[in-house]
Amino acid sequence: MEKVIIIRYAEIHLKGKNRGYFEHMFSVNLERSLRGIRHELHRTNGRYLVAKFDENRAEEIAARISRVFGIHSYSLGYRTESAIESIFEAAKLVGPQSGTFKVETHRGDKCYPMTSPEVSREIGARLLAEFPALTVDVHTPQSAVYVDIRENGFALVFGSFEKGVGGMPVSTSGKGLLLISGGIDSPVAGYMMAKRGMSVHYLHFHSYPYTSDMAKEKVISLAKLLSRYALTEELTTVSVTHIQEEIHEKCAAELNVTLLRRFMFRIAERIARNRGDQCLITGESLGQVASQTIEGMTSSNAVVSLPVLRPLVGFDKEEIITRAKEIGTFETSILPYEDCCTVFLPDHPAIKPKLSFIEEEEAKLNVEALVEEALAGAQRLKLY
Ligand code: ATP
Ligand code: MG
């Protein structure tokens, strides 16, 4: 008998002619999420088994698995020989010792000498004899013991189904470049796209020395937290200090944010194209702040030709916060470090800037040279 984790994928996404690729990426992603932990990964009958791991680390492995996109459900349990004695030994370990319960058996091996109901009755009877505080309730039991008899002389025995995170395997839906700030929203935006199977690279703009090393560390922490799901290994950072100084010196103050955002998009697009990323991703939500009006979004879209995905555009702040808490980025996002957007922040940023006004002000700058200078200083940082 050995402890295993049984993983079932969200089958619906794995149908059709892409199935092989989906399955391949799914197992690659499982391996990536389990890196650093000794284990074996087996594929059996439309599910995956994690075996031969350090049993003291079972909880940690389960936690990692709970964050792999494409998983429908998973169970901690045992793989045993399919003899009824062995199944019972495992059932004692996964099952309850008091309260109401039922045994549910699935039989993949149709040659097995007992039928599924017979196995359930036999294991149930043995558990009742072993633990007198148990009673059977097949309709609304407090706990259950699941027995899955496989063709190869083995059985899987487990006590519950844990809900997986769903979604599609990362790397099966193209590549995107996430503009990640230290805020609450952009990590959630990255999560949403990775959940749909996108491979998400990270780009962060800073304005050192106006923004501190602590602010950068915060973004690195956020990127690592997001990577528990997105499995992204690198963060690109770019300084926009020189751009902000130029804008501050030469352009109308109320356009500071608008102009900076257009630079961010231009730089992001250049990096994305170099990397083969097919879109930009931001954490913008309609109307949340002055620059996130439809006019603001239009003015930044105007300088790029790649699509800009804004998965949070219709979300309320409350909804974004709830999701940020679920994925574990919220506590880090609210640490009080400055973002480059808050440096030189005007008292009254333009809410609905006219494109003609923006272009007039921008004409005072050498846009291409500023972008080139920013790109020349880009740094790539390994997250793990
Ligand atoms: P967030 O919580 O993601 O910071 P926000 O509500 O603070 O969002 P803004 O600061 O206006 O909104 O930023 C809007 C979007 O622009 C962010 O979600 C992010 O995608 C991008 N962005 C903002 N600042 C940066 C930055 N310093 N580096 C990279 N991207 C940024
Ligand atoms: Mg922000």
Q: Which of 256, 335, 341 to mutate to test the pocket of ligand 1 (most atoms within 8 A of CB)?
A: 341
Does 185 contact ligand 1 (Cβ within 6 A)? yes
Does 181 contact ligand 1 (Cβ within 6 A)? yes
Does 284 contact ligand 1 (Cβ within 6 A)? yes
The per-residue pLDDT for 352 is 86
Q: Whose CA is nearest to atom 8 of ligand 1?
A: 185
The per-residue pLDDT for 13 is 59
pTM of the model: 0.93
Does 244 contact ligand 1 (Cβ within 6 A)? no
Q: Whose CA is nearest to atom 16 of ligand 1?
A: 282
The per-residue pLDDT for 11 is 64
Distance 304 CA to ligand 1 centre (A): 17
User: Does residue 297 contact residue 324 with C-beta atoms inside 8 Å?
Assistant: no
Does 176 contact ligand 1 (Cβ within 6 A)? no
Does 289 contact ligand 1 (Cβ within 6 A)? yes
| Weakly modelled stretches of the chain, pLDDT under 50 | none
3-class SS string, the chain: CEEEEEEEECHHHHCCCCHHHHHHHHHHHHHHHCCCCCCEEEEECCEEEEECCCHHHHHHHHHHHCCCCCEEEEEEEEEEECCHHHHHHHHHHHCCCCEEEEEEEEECCCCCCCCHHHHHHHHHHHHHHHCCCEEECCCCCCEEEEEEECCCCEEEEECCCEEEEECCCCCCCCEEEEECCCCCHHHHHHHHHHHCCCEEEEEEEECCCCCCHHHHHHHHHHHHHHHHHHCCCEEEEEECHHHHHHHHHHCCHHHHHHHHHHHHHHHHHHHHHHHCCCEEECCCCCCCCHHHCHHHHHHHHCCCCCCEECCCCCCCHHHHHHHHHHHCCHHHHCCCCCCHHHCCCCCCCCCCCCHHHHHHHHCCCCHHHHHHHHHHCCEEEECC
Does 211 contact ligand 1 (Cβ within 6 A)? no
Who surrounds ion ligand 2 at CB < 5 A?
181, 183, 339
Distance 260 CA to ligand 2 centre (A): 13
Does 183 contact ligand 1 (Cβ within 6 A)? yes
Q: Which of 177, 179, 206, 208 to mutate to test the pocket of ligand 1 (most atoms within 8 A of CB)?
A: 179
The per-residue pLDDT for 287 is 87
Distance 354 CA to ligand 1 centre (A): 22
206 CA closest ligand 1 atom index? 27
Does 180 contact ligand 1 (Cβ within 6 A)? yes
Does 27 contact ligand 1 (Cβ within 6 A)? no
The per-residue pLDDT for 286 is 95
Does 207 contact ligand 1 (Cβ within 6 A)? no
Q: Whose CA is nearest to atom 30 of ligand 1?
A: 179
Token representation of residue 73: 């459900």
Does 226 contact ligand 1 (Cβ within 6 A)? no
Ligand nearest to the CA of 311: 1
